[in-house]
Chain A
Amino acid sequence: MIKFKLRIVTPRGIYKEIDIDQLNVKTTDGHIGILANHIPLASCLDIAQMNFLIDGKRERFALHGGFVYVADEMTKIITNAIESEDEIDIERANAAYTRAKERLKETKDQYEIQRAEIALKRAITRMNLKNHN
């Protein structure tokens, strides 16, 4: 397969820069797969799992929202935070899950609810990724 360059950028610097076969991400509109020579595209990413394929091997990550930007020379993912399977602290994710659930039950404030929902989504993404094996 034709490979293309992927660069993942976070506020802490460049997280990864590699050549991959296929990139699967979840945009706010739904899942998309990106192969080499895709037309230029810019899209918002949802808080969800993402993965890419190198020579048939799949690597999975928990992505905390952000952007994907596909250009001729390079595909870029810009995100506030990303974690590989090994980097996830499952106990923290579990704690965040219960905390967010409780907050959702207690609060009536619209903004608080929104924040709790985002936290919940993050926790679920992490837990799913960790438990899939």
Chain B
Amino acid sequence: MIHLDRDRGMVEAAQHDPAAFDALYRRYLAQVYSLAYYELGDHHAAEDATERTFLSALANLARFEERARPEDGDGASTFKVWLFQIARNAIASQRRTTRRTATAPLEAATTAVHPLDVERDVVAREEAAAAWQAVDRLPADRRRALVLRFVDEMTTAEIAGVLGRSEGAVRVLIHRGLRSVARDLTGRGEGRGHGEATTR
């Protein structure tokens, strides 16, 4: 029997004994929280959305059905898609009560990367801030797709499942998002210099 869902063992254990849900919680906490943080831009709001997500997932775990397909590959996880669908709803609900503030993640994203090299650390902070601002200026659907792709490292199929779109539509969203980010960074005069730096 081929196990299509990489989380199948943990999901079945948690369905049998809810206490075993802790393993799934630890595995996906940072990813869910990251999505909430990028979407809401507020530490406390992201925590609230994360809490709602996992409590709801635990309460409804008995109803979860694995639906991974053979073409999804060995690393596919329908549980992950299901969890992020819950997260998306929790974030949308949280957004209705919390006004999005885009400045908070900038500070968090620019923590010391090179603490022993002040000059490099300043450059890294500026570049990280510029990247975040470029993403933050995108329309919501493109920003969400890029965050799921680059931060949560989801596949196109997984993102399609979370966003409720076709894989082709997600590919176009990501492509257009990247082109917008490229224009934004080039407009700041960073594109050429950074490209030369990164390809060295």
The judgment on whether A and B are partners is: no
